[in-house]
A and B are shown apart, each in its own frame.
Chain A
Amino acid sequence: MNPAIDLVFEPEALSWYEASARQRVAALVDPGSFHEAVGAEERATSPHLALFDLPEQFDDGMIVGRATLDGAPILVAAQEGRFMGGAVGEVHGAKLVGLLRAAQSLSLDVLILFDTGGVRLQEANAGETAIAEIMRALVDARRAGSRVVGLIGGRSGCYGGGGLIAACCSALVVTEQGRISVTGPEVIETNRGVEEFDARDRALVWRTMGGKHRYLMGGADVFVDDGPGAFRDAVREVLKAPGRLDLDTLDAEQARLERRLARFGAATDAVAVWSALGIADAAAVPGLSTRAFRAVATCRESADDAR
């Protein structure tokens, strides 16, 4: 055994999909610059999980704090998808609310590393209300000039209320594995039947909700490889844009989404949408490498200044 090798932390070698929330944050921002607020040592645990005989976690699956990126101060939130699927409970949600309120008062930009199945159903009412508070705090921060960037590439995806929060961000960076959706495949199947959505058909899940489709539709702004370096470069890029939120932004978003429905509203599968976009061999998209995918994605719909 060679301890010199065992102890080396190689952040650039991380798979974003496989990494923990803490590993992602450490690898993303300037080395050693992250300072957590209300960290695990304060044991801000869920007051509700004991009712279900479920284990608590000292950070309730949400890590928030400040850091620097290329020397500039920035706020960071990261969901831990390994704890209850990153689901939003009372404490988990309140930490993000507090961070976004601080962003507004301090005029700082925010990075949100999503990894969530949505509202934590064991504390559903608290989680649902927290989602509404997060969206309002996010909108207030953006109206005051903060940019809020969502990073999506975790194991749990970005589902339920997480999908709504993501769509309030000024920019979204996504990997192929980064699924964004409101209703998850299992819930659609439970409510509407396997004919409407076969949750076990993983290829269907990826092409309906996955990062490539979202990027092509304008539901995400940058498509990256599954590593911290790729995310960091993308964040630098999107932070060059103003990320403002005003009536002009929303008029542009209204026009963008109406155009999407007009162009693709009759499609029943992603491959038909990609064909309508002008991709010649649309069926091959899921198998394309990042480089090849970017080359065919030049005909994508963009959401610049319209999110």
Chain B
Amino acid sequence: MTLAEILAGLFRGSHDVAVTDGLILGTGRRTGGGLVHVLGIAEGAPLGIDGALILAGRVLAIARSGDDAPILMPIDSASQRMSRRDELLGLNECLAHLAKALMLAEAEGHRTLGLLYGRSAAGAFIATALATGHLVALPGAHPEVMDLPSMARVTKLSLDVLTEKARATAVFAPGLDNLVRTGAIHETWDPEKSLAEQWETCLAAPPASSDRRDRLGAERGGRPCAAAIAERVAARIADHA
């Protein structure tokens, strides 16, 4: 689905969302008239220091606003912007700052919902969609950790070998289904049904009191060990404290 179709499906005509330089900014109105803050990444744009600070500044203003309106974060991005300038000026700090802002806004009472509708990768994915309280995807979305040529360079495996293994291995291969299986993506929406209704269903559910992604990963078979290991470590530490 395109961003325009998604916004039409969620808000009909009641929104002022615009895309500037790959950043989505604006507000929409829920079926009952309630306010929704909309911010995210469009057009497969990479996320660099400049964009991360614009988004974070907006999230912090929302957190300060005193309203309890939810934040919708549609994402169709590349990876983090890969450049000498971004790294020189502290891309790690800017991306982490955005993620922290989203988590603090959630703690202030704003539900945060990531909506992955296109591509996303690596640091851009971590700083945006993966920092929301509830992440949904639409069919056709394509998350990945790293593109295969870069993986080939880092792992010193040939591109042919990697491409072959990517077909066979869920835990490693790019793609929506594989990240649903790890628990990173909570659910996939049905584009044939009303997006507004699916969004209202999400908001009607009580907010999660803890991070359930490792348990989802165990239930779905994409991450067989994570939840059990984290639990065992926490229990051993508590036993000896």
Contacts and interface: CB of A to CB of B under 8 A. Distances in A.
Interface of A: 35, 37-38, 44, 47-48, 51-52, 64-66, 73, 75, 90-91, 93-95, 97-99, 101-102, 105-106, 108, 117, 119, 121-133, 135-137, 139, 143, 160-161, 163-168, 180-184, 186-188, 190-192, 196-197, 208-209, 213-214, 217, 219, 245-247, 250-251, 253-254, 257-258, 260-261, 264-265, 267-270, 273, 307
A180 B92 contact: yes
B50 A128 contact: no
Interface in B206-239: 211, 213-214, 217, 222-227, 229-234, 236-238
Contacts, number: 291
Instruction: Kindly name the residue among A106, A121, A181, A264 whose own CB sees the greatest number of chain B CB atoms within 10 A.
Output: A121
A185 B209 CA distance: 39
Given A37-B233, A183-B91, A197 B84 contact: yes
Given A192-B82, A250-B60, A260-B89, A167 B234 contact: no
A125 B170 contact: yes
A129 B107 contact: no
Per DSSP, chain A at the interface is helix
Per DSSP, chain B at the interface is helix
Given A129-B217, A130-B226, A168 B172 contact: no
Interface residues of B, number: 83
A184 B179 CA distance: 24
A257 B56 CA distance: 11
Contact of B126 (A131, A219, A265): A131
Given A47-B224, A122-B155, A168-B96, A161 B123 contact: yes
A247 B60 contact: yes
Contacts of B184: 125, 128-129, 132
Interface of B: 49-50, 53, 56-57, 60, 63-64, 80, 82-97, 99-101, 103-104, 107-108, 122-123, 125-127, 130-131, 144-146, 149-151, 153-155, 157, 165, 168-173, 178-179, 181-184, 211, 213-214, 217, 222-227, 229-234, 236-238, 240-241
B103 A136 contact: yes
B146 A124 contact: yes
Given A51-B169, A254-B60, A209 B145 contact: no
A125 B222 contact: yes
Nearest to A54: B155
B226 A97 contact: yes
A290 B91 CA distance: 26
Given A133-B213, A161-B126, A167-B92, A102 B222 contact: no
B142 to A, nearest CB: 13
Nearest to A158: B92
A133 B126 CA distance: 10
A187 B213 contact: no
Given A94-B229, A129-B213, A133-B211, A106 B237 contact: yes
Contacts of A122: 155, 172
Contact of B182 (A66, A126, A187, A258): A126
17 contacts: A64-B237, A90-B226, A97-B233, A98-B229, A102-B237, A124-B145, A127-B145, A128-B145, A129-B226, A131-B130, A160-B123, A164-B126, A168-B96, A190-B149, A209-B87, A261-B50, A270-B88
